[in-house]
Amino acid sequence: MELAEKESGEPRFLVSDLLAYLESYLTTEQIREVYRAYLFSADAHINQKRMSGEPYIYHPVAVAYILAGMRLDYKCLMAAMMHDVIEDTPTAKAEIQKIFDDEVAELVDGVTKLTHLDFSSREEAVAASFRKMILAMTKDVRVVLIKLADRLHNMRTLGVMRPDKARRISRETLEIYAPIAKRLGIHRICEELQDLAFVAHWPWRYRILQREVRKNHGKQQKVISGILTALRRQLVQTDIPAEVFGREKNLYSIYRKIADRKVRFADIADVLAFRIIVQSVDDCYRVLGVVHHLYKPKPGNFKDYIAIPKSNGYQSLHTIIFGPHGAPVEVQIRTEAMHRFAEEGIATHWGYKHGEEGGRIDGPSSEWLKSLTDLQEDTASSIEFLEHVKIDLFPDEVYVFTPKGKIMVLPRGATVLDFAYAVHTDVGNHCVAARVDKRMVALRTLLRNGMTIEIHVSPNVHPNPKWLEFVATSRARSNIRSFLKQLQNREAVNLGAQLLTSELQHYNTTLQELGQQQVEQMFTALGYENLDALQSDIGLGNRPVRFVARQLLGDDVALAERSKQQDQSSLRRVAIAGTEGMVVKYANCCRPIPGDPIVGTFNPGKGVVIHHSSCLNLSNDRSYSDNWIDVQWEENVRGDFLVKLRMEVNNKPGVLAETATVVAENGANIESVHADDSDGHYSVQEFMLSVKDRRHLARIIRSLRKLPAVIKVTRVIA
């Protein structure tokens, strides 16, 4: 698309240019509707100017022009024309619905930021607006395409901004918008956003790298021409119709490889790459043979994204060859359809282009959009939602298989537990064990390409707070947190009820004796909807139980008469059930188990933390008696508790297997193992076991001591 230019050399986005281009793929009636939206937007923004001094309407026209280049439908272009009218003018959504229609109004509203609500910080406002846009995108993907075009034009005109504001916008672009474009397969926009943000955020680094790339290009010009000529000649001889051309990798991608791998510019193999566009998938593999016949391939650097597409649907064959003089060069081979999708992503094939229900798409990107819908339902905070989405926007993919041969794509760094949650939330929540290539592994095992994973579940197993330490995907993290929050609320209510009951016993009364009316007046006066909400805050330590008791009883004379003589040095006693919740939490330093002598510390916002009474970490806190709670185990405590064992063994083959067998025979699980070879004769092994109670642990230790290779077994308590 050719545009007129202003005297400064910047492109001039005139509505006449846009309308002329639209004649290539829209009907006259549709073009008339786009122009009607332009007139409406121009009138709404009549007295507004951009920071550059030009009329504001230039921006919406430019955004529509970018989307027209992707050949989007006319309603999307109408919404692009009006995408700022709700946010920046007195125009209401209802007015757009009345003058145009519901579909256009929903698109405009989806792009509109939340500006009329009170937020505690700018970060919260940005996160809430982002969440609103993402949720609108899950219903109609055109919302995010308009936003990407909006951000692209803003980045093209970023030079008028203050340097600090330009850096903030650039960082936001690199962290959110460029990755979204990449995740949706729109690489052309992704790469331009990255380079524009790169030059604005790190201008000096950009100039240095740009100079090196130009210098390298000059040096390699003969090599490039030679490879192009050889490839074209060989393809003609083998009678394979193909288009061959070279391309330079965008500067930001080169910069990230240098920074992430900590290598020199000269060590980057794919600064220059060649693309070969053919007519069919069969031709892709035939051309691969031609390329490898001409040039020796670099071992371990062939990637078949045709057989196993990337998570955003991208398909191509990638190989690195040794060119003339041994220089490594990347070659990408794909069909015309694959190339078009690689440039425009989902914009190449959604439903409403063919008259179907607007904005819905199929394929890998639709799975990601569905996962975002599930994610927002399990995430209360907008900031937390934004952080979860950022995790999924940087997926260096790993390809693994289910037992039935289905391919699953997860981000690099994902674990077996992430895989379980990717299969289904219930599978993840009840995951107890896993087999990788028919071998039992720990849930924290990192995934590698080609693994076949089988998940074992148990209805008695539930998410553990420790899982949050090693899961990598937002789906797993949000589901674990959602479960723990529900568990936390139930435990907080129970703990608060016990604390309040215990406090009232000091005054020789109970909630039942005080009566429902008096209790309701009390929690209403404190601003709670019901007694459970109040007890939850007590259990979390957010509301002092002594204050609540005094508020409930009042300051009358009867208070003193009911009060028993109490020992001020005594501590409150609370029976602690054997659960792995966030309110009643078991200290990681000493890992108490049922049967151990224990003591609790009461921390606001965290609840009760249970320690073994001999834990060394308690010594610094014993002067704060108000924070101490004398706790005891309930009878028949159920659940699994983590405990650490240190074992000295003779260093010989099979010891670990014998140990695992003994532990399994005694009804326990090994959660993790760490071995330290002290010398060639013996080693020290540390195990994290899940046991039922102190007796169960004692039985396991006795059995381990009977093994011939075992020298010593001790329990580790901080």
Active site residue 469: no
The answer to whether 62 touches 13, Cβ cutoff 8 Å, is yes
**SS3 at position 674:** strand
The active-site residue out of 10, 54, 88, 532 is: 88
Confirm if 408 and 401 have CB atoms less than 8 A apart. yes
Q: Are 181 and 66 in contact (CB under 8 A)?
A: no
For residues 174 and 251, what is the distance between their CA atoms, to the nearest angstrom?
13
Which one is catalytic: 10, 54, 87, 454?
A: 87
Residue type, 343: E
Angle between the 15-22 and 28-44 helix axes, to the nearest 10 degrees? 160
- Which amino acid appears at position 707 of this protein? L
Contact call for residues 421 and 475 (beta carbons, < 8 A) = yes
Which residues have a Cβ under 8 Å from the Cβ of 644 and sit 6 or more positions away? Answer: 591, 686, 687, 688, 689, 715, 716
Token pair belonging to 474: 């937002």
Closest CA to 348 of 357, 358, 333, 338: 338
What is the longest distance spanned by two Cα atoms in the chain? 107
Rounded to an integer, what distance in angstroms lies between the CA atom of residue 620 and that of residue 601?
12
Residues 6+ apart with CB under 8 A from 332: 273, 274, 275, 276, 316, 317, 318
- Catalytic residue at 87? yes
* Helix/strand/coil for 207: helix
Question: What is the per-residue DSSP string for 397-460?
Answer: EEEEE-TT--EEEEETT-BHHHHHHHH-HHHHHTEEEEEETTEEE-TTPBP-TT-BEEEEE-TT
Question: What count of other Cβ atoms lies within 10 Å of the Cβ of residue 558?
Answer: 12
Residue with structure tokens 């409930």? 552
Contacts 24+ apart (CB under 8 A), 555-559: 559/507
- Give the up-direction half-sphere exposure of residue 636: CA atoms within 13 A in the CB hemisphere: 0
Burial class (CB in 10 A: 0-12, 13-18, 19+), 75: buried
Cα distances (Å, whole numbers) of residue 140 to 74, 104, 105, 106: 15, 11, 12, 9
Which residues form the catalytic set? 87-88
